Amino acid sequence: MLVIRTTAFRRAAGMRLLLRSHCSSAPFSESSAAAVHAERTIREGPRNDWSRNEIESIHDSPILDLVFHGAQVHRHAHNFRQVQQCTLLSIKTGGCSEDCSYCPQSSRYTTGLKAQKLMTKDAVIEAAEKAKEAGSTRFCMGAAWRDTIGRKTNFNQILEYVKEIRGMGMEVCCTLGMLEQQQAIELKKAGLTAYNHNLDTSREYYPNIITTRSYDERLKTLQFVRDAGINVCSGGIIGLGEAAEDRVGLLHTLATLPTHPESVPINALVAVKGTPLQDQKPVEIWEMIRMIATARIVMPQAMVRLSAGRVRFSMPEQALCFLAGANSIFTGEKLLTTPNNDFDADQLMFKLLGLTPKPPSFGDEANDTLEQCEEAVSSSG
């Protein structure tokens, strides 16, 4: 079970009083599910036994109440002014064998994207240095692969990149497709902070989006990552044509994992011409805010990342997302292959909203030994 920082809980008593006085002002308002569950989260800390109905009732709460209570939980679990800046680099682009319907990197769709081999060490390190200079504290490397099995040379190269970037004092994340247990251990040994593997959507809607690998295979990779002692980064995409209940289903799966993901990216589809989802209607800001605030209430300690699609949202719209509980963004010109927000506009936004970059956090990973990793894996069965 995760534990919210002690200092946060010391402040919880005061907040409970505030919430009670809010709730007891019955002539003006009734308690929404967001209020009830946010109060419980503040009182009891993270839980992994959420029912789907509970999450649905939070998600469907009146929007302003949802934002208010997402903000309350956020302020208890985090320094609400700090926003993590991550840079995502595509180190191997396109030519992917998978059929993810939203993805221009799939070789099954004609999107005009030029496939590129794994980038050289010099090019990757140069990009990491640039990201660090621009204020990023986490550097994420993405490779368009189904998995890393049978790619020993490339995988060993990536281990080198991880070591080098971690040595620069940055958190390092990878997203390389499905992993085997041993590979997760090797990434951990190299100093990897987090591994991203999104569930994308609910288990029920998933076969409409991807047919070349199963939901359970994805969960298995998350298990290997967790067992190796690497932080799990896992979230999803909205705007794929799913229903509200699928968004709830995605959050339910994430919030009932044995440990909540350390990071939960919430992406709005960026519809790319040539993909099967090219004509999807853009996601509205209110849909993003509902997802962010609900994720914040049900996974209070997670870094909730306002991810793909941010480029379409104005500064006031993004401000509402931060208020509702988002505390992480991707910075840099591109998100893998799609455009991202302008660097100067992000700097200005941080200044205007009084946000500060979150410093890197390495937890106690320096104390971790290979033996501890392997012990964790073997005891997981």
Please give the positions annotated as active site.
Answer: 96, 100, 103, 140, 173, 233, 305
> Which two tokens mark 145?
């692969």
First to last CA, the chain: 19
What residue type is 245 in one-letter code?
Answer: E
DSSP code at position 194: E
CB 105 within 8 A of CB 348: no
According to DSSP, the β-strands at 328-331 and 138-143 are: unpaired
106 lies in the site for ligand SF4, by CB under 6 A: yes
96 lies in the site for ligand SF4, by CB under 6 A: yes
Q: CA-CA distances (angstroms) from residue 277 to 103, 240, 245, 274?
A: 9, 7, 20, 8
Interacting stretch for ligand SF4, rule CB under 6 A, among 40-48, 97-105, 179-187, 371-379?
97-105
Nearer to ligand SF4 among residue 338 and residue 369 (C-beta): 338
Interacting stretch for ligand SF4, rule CB under 6 A, among 47-55, 102-110, 311-319, 324-332?
102-110
101 lies in the site for ligand SF4, by CB under 6 A: no
**Contacting residue, 98, 171, 246, 262, with ligand SF4 by CB under 6 A:** 98
3-state secondary structure of 349: helix
265 lies in the site for ligand SF4, by CB under 6 A: no
User: CB of residue 296 vs ligand SF4: minimum separation in angstroms?
Assistant: 25
Interacting stretch for ligand SF4, rule CB under 6 A, among 57-65, 94-102, 230-238, 257-265?
94-102
323 lies in the site for ligand SF4, by CB under 6 A: no
Residues shown for the chain: 381
**Contacting residue, 72, 87, 105, 234, with ligand SF4 by CB under 6 A:** 105
Q: Which residues in 161-180 contact ligand SF4 (CB under 6 A)?
A: 177
100 lies in the site for ligand SF4, by CB under 6 A: yes
The residues near 174 (Cβ < 8 Å, ≥ 6 apart) are 140, 141, 142, 143, 158, 162, 187, 192, 195, 196
103 lies in the site for ligand SF4, by CB under 6 A: yes
**Contacting residue, 35, 144, 321, 324, with ligand SF4 by CB under 6 A:** 144
User: CB of residue 89 vs ligand SF4: minimum separation in angstroms?
Assistant: 14
Give the burial class of 243: count Cβ atoms within 10 A of its Cβ; 0-12 exposed, 13-18 middle, 19 or more buried. exposed
Give the burial class of 207: count Cβ atoms within 10 A of its Cβ; 0-12 exposed, 13-18 middle, 19 or more buried. exposed
Sign of CA dihedral 208, 210, 212, 214: negative
302 lies in the site for ligand SF4, by CB under 6 A: no
| Count of positions on this chain that bind ligand SF4 (CB under 6 A) | 9
87 lies in the site for ligand SF4, by CB under 6 A: no
DSSP H helices, the chain, are: 6-10, 12-24, 33-44, 52-59, 63-77, 121-133, 152-167, 181-190, 215-227, 244-255, 285-298, 315-324, 343-353, 370-379
Ordered DSSP codes for 35-61: HHHHHHHHHH---S---HHHHHHHHTS
Residue showing tokens 């076969």: 207
User: CB of residue 177 vs ligand SF4: minimum separation in angstroms?
Assistant: 6
Nearer to ligand SF4 among residue 178 and residue 283 (C-beta): 178
User: CB of residue 344 vs ligand SF4: minimum separation in angstroms?
Assistant: 29
* Contacting positions for ligand SF4 (CB under 6 A): 96, 98, 100, 103, 105-106, 144, 146, 177
